[in-house]
Amino acid sequence: MAKISVERTIGKTKKAVLGGLIGFNAEKMGKQKYKRLAISLREGDKIVGGIVGEVWTTVLFIQLFWMEQKLRGKDYGTRLIKAIEDEARKFGATRSYLDTMSFQAPGFYRACGYEEFGSIEGYPGGVTRHWFTKAL
């Protein structure tokens, strides 16, 4: 009989779930392309910003994006977005999506051509989470 177990470490469970999901998806959609991407902003050897994402099938998911405060508002963010989108296109991506909190960068993503397709209110401090997408 199967039983539910709460895990304190996720490694083995994550590997099993991911393997099962990849197999199931391949049955339904055929073998899928997958690529991780990272673009850094550097001052010398120091990483002062960057953007991390992955392309699965034809969609780029921007997972993480940050840069030091002193560099914001100087076009570096726009250049990082363009760089990861360009790399994703080389891999066959035709769409991008991401999420951000209301205190982070929804206005920035709108200025980069992203359109909001959903949000969830109710985070502490009146914060809202927003989801954006863009055709590449």
> In sequence order, what are the residues at sequence separation of 6 or more whose Cβ sits closer than 8 angstroms to the Cβ of residue 110?
116, 132
Cα-based distances in Å from 108 to 76, 105, 134 = 12, 5, 13
> In sequence order, what are the residues at sequence separation of 6 or more whose Cβ sits closer than 8 angstroms to the Cβ of residue 99?
129, 130, 131, 132
pLDDT tens figures, 32-54: 889 999 999 999 999 999 999 99
> What is the model's pLDDT at position 9?
82
For domain 32-135, give the CATH number.
3.40.630.30
Tell me the pTM: 0.86
pLDDT at 125 over 90: yes
Average pLDDT, the chain: 95
DSSP H helices, the chain, are 11-29, 76-90, 106-111
> What is the model's pLDDT at position 58?
95
Can you give the residue ranges of every domain in the chain? 32-135
